[in-house]
Structure 1
Amino acid sequence: MDKRVQTVNFIELNLAILFISTSGALGRFIDLPIPITIGLRSLLGGIALYLFCRWKKISFRIEGKDRKTVVIGGILLGLHWITYFYSLRLSNVAIGMLSLFTYPAITAILEPIFLKTKILKIHLLLSLLVLVGIYFLVPDFDLQNDDFKAVGFGVLSAFCYATRNIILKTKINQYDGTLLMAYQLLVITLVLSPFAFYLDTSQVVAYLPATLLLAILTTAIGHSLFLRSLRHFSTVTASIVSCSQPVYGIIIGMIFLNEYPEVSTIIGGAIIILTVIIESLRVFRISKPLANDQN
């Protein structure tokens, strides 16, 4: 591939990660009931992705046997967002995003269970490292401590996200990723729509610009760019670059919300991100000979 084109593609991948990273600051800023925020995010983002699919002439057909999987994936994605936003609301951008980033280690443990493959010892070691990182994130293991509850919600969010990714893994080669995302957003919108009738929606208009940013920039554009980048880079490369997501998110929080992480948070976050880098490099080392054989 031409070096200039590769550079443009790499910039595009980093832009995708940057846009997705805005979820932390926007989640902290938007002071609406969380089900309303997520419902609006899904509705507006779903409309944007629907128009994109129409523009690209992507077929909207989903086989009957796959619809249940897509619906469950949508419910898990909605739970992932809701618990993540509760984590952000209880603490700050740094703790919320770093506790969510335990999902690669959780994926490494859950995937063998769901897909009936062997659990590797390295994954157990990396999971222990993640627990060490979580220990540094939580200053006090007390149910009355907001940071403790925030990490709990963040890890639960990571569990939902990892499970959703695993169950959709078998469908990603059959359907366009944007289409799957659009249907999941439709599921979330339908499930959360009843909350609009009994939760406070009086401030929706005031926070509509920020919600539009969350729906369009973070969700529709960010995730679409990321999916597009997978055409030019391996998932391993994308995973390594994704390690910058909490860093971007914390910097955005520092600039716009004046939130500065504590030293213990930085140490815990560094340990968690290190586990992702180690696993990504391990996968790269295994897959590289196979790639060379295909050339």
Structure 2
Amino acid sequence: MSGKTCSTFGAVRTSEKQAMLLLHLCVFIWGFTAILGNLITLRETVLVWYRMGITSLSLLFLPAFWRGIRTIRKQDAWRIASVGIMVSVHWVTFYGAIKYANVSVALTCLATVSFFTSLLEPLFFRARHRFTEILFGLAVIPALYMVFRFTGSYATGMIMGVFSAFLAAVFTILNKRLTVSYDPFSITFLELATGFVFLGLLMPVYLQWFPGTPLLPSGADIGYLLILSLVCTTLPFILSLISLRHISAFTANLTINLEPVYGILLAMLFFHEQDELQPGFYLGAGIILVIVFLHAYIRYRQKKKQLVV
């Protein structure tokens, strides 16, 4: 093998390693979003309103946004906007799950996104359900019941968490079609900006339901919101796009599935949530996470087999 070939191979391997490190960094940072959501004293709707506003504003400073925004057709812009409303409700229910339960419960519920996706995607694309998808979907139910059984006092938070996961699955499927035609930066900006406007219009009604809700963040909340919006949203979004150029979709999905693991470990470190949750909860959460990774591996094997055939 020539020296030139060796150096090229080494460069490729290095770029893959760097991409993997970048993606793990992104997932670790995403794990912090739940921690910050718990630290911020604002209610979930106000919190998400600020997060969407700050993040969408930061995307305006990216050159890629201005290149892509001009290409979006009006008809598709309305579709993207509707997905943005869904994203806003997803975030509100996710942070609601944290406020009404805790970080560990919210992240365990969020781990079911891949199963909702596997069950809903064939309906959107008019394809047949695979037996393995149904089997894994059914396997999650007793694990969720186990989590619910040992977190009965957090029932409201758990329901919000599962609904948040369902919404995440729906908008992930819808975004899959949109990202084929348009730049991810532009789509993300339109979705976040629409969500910001939607929650702003909804705010007077929300304040009627929850009178006395503070709208202005404290000094500490301002710092946490900036970290949440810029460091934990805009930055990992850019880094993840860079890393995805060098690694496979399977590796990416498997790595992203680590977010609940990182988040739950961070919740133990910051909030000592293991003291308020019984071992049965962690058993149920562990079963869900094992099913998630096993499901991702089997899907990868099935796709690989199809390519060989």
| TM-score (norm. length: structure 2) | 0.87
Match of 1:229 among 243, 261, 265: 243
**Residues 44 and 216 of structure 1 are in contact (CA less than 8 Å); yes or no, is this contact kept in structure 2?**
yes
- Asked if 1:23 corresponds to 2:30, the answer is no
SS of residue in 1 equivalent to 2:273: coil
Q: 1:251 aligns with which of 265, 269, 285?
A: 265
Offset at 1:244? 1.3
Deviation for aligned residue 1:29: 1.1
Could you say which residue in structure 1 is the equivalent of 2:221?
Answer: 207
Contact kept? 2:15, 2:246, Cα under 8 Å:
no
| Equivalent position to 2:67, from 58, 73, 98 | 58
| Pairwise CA distance, 1:213 | 1.0
**C-alpha spacing 1:194/1:33, structure 2 compared with 1 (3 Å):** farther
RMSD of the TM alignment (CA)?
Answer: 2.0
- Deviation of residue 232 (structure 1)? 1.5
Closer/same/farther in 2, CA of residues 292 and 230 from structure 1, 3 Å limit? farther
Task: Give the fraction of aligned pairs with identical amino acids, expressed as a percent.
Answer: 24
Note if 1:115 corresponds to 2:131: no
Kept in 2, the 8 Å contact 1:17–1:244? The answer is yes
In structure 2, the CA distance between the partners of 1:206 and 1:196, relative to structure 1 (3 Å rule), is farther
Distance in 2, matches of 1:175 and 1:98, equals 32
CA deviation string 1:6-55 (max 9, x = no partner): 21111001001011111111111111021110010001111112212x26
Residue equivalent to 2:16? 6
Q: Deviations over 1:214-246 (max 9, x none)?
A: 111221112222233222222221111122111
Within the candidate set 170, 173, 186, 1:179 is matched to 186
SS of equivalent to 2:69 = coil
* Residue 287 in structure 1 maps to residue 303 in structure 2: yes
| Distance in structure 1 (CA, Å) of the matches to 2:178 and 2:170 | 14
For residue 67 of structure 2, give the secondary structure of its aligned residue in structure 1: coil
Structure 2 residue identity aligned to 1:278 = L
AA of the residue aligned to 1:93: V
Indicate if the aligned counterparts of 1:94 and 1:265 stay in contact, CA closer than 8 A.
no
How far 1:140 sits from its partner (Å)?
6.0
Instruction: Label 1:204 to 1:184 Cα distance change in 2 as closer, same or farther (>3 A).
Output: farther
Question: What residue is the counterpart of 1:33 in the other structure?
Answer: 43
Cα deviation, 1:92-151, whole Å, max 9, x if unaligned, reads 11111011111100111111111111011111110111112201211269xxx4422221
The one-letter amino acid of 2:229's match is: A
Whether 1:77 and 2:77 are equivalent positions in the alignment is: no
How many residues in Structure 1 have an aligned counterpart in Structure 2?
289
* Map of 1:219 onto structure 2: 233
Picking from 139, 147, 167, the partner of 2:154 is: 147
**Secondary structure of 1:171's match?**
helix
- The one-letter code sitting in structure 2 at the alignment partner of 1:4 is T
Q: What are the ranges of 5 or more consecutive residues in structure 2 without an aligned counterpart? A: 1-8, 208-212
CA deviation after TM superposition for structure 1 residue 205, in Å:
3.9
Helix, strand or coil at the partner of 2:180: coil
Q: Normalised by the size of structure 1, how large is the TM-score?
A: 0.91
Which has the greater radius of gyration?
2
Q: Helix, strand or coil for the counterpart of 2:60?
A: helix
**Is 2:94–2:164's contact at 8 Å kept on the other side of the alignment?**
yes
For residues 139-196 of structure 1, the C-alpha deviation after alignment (integer angstroms, 9 at most, x for no partner) is 269xxx4422221111100111100011121111111212211111101110112456
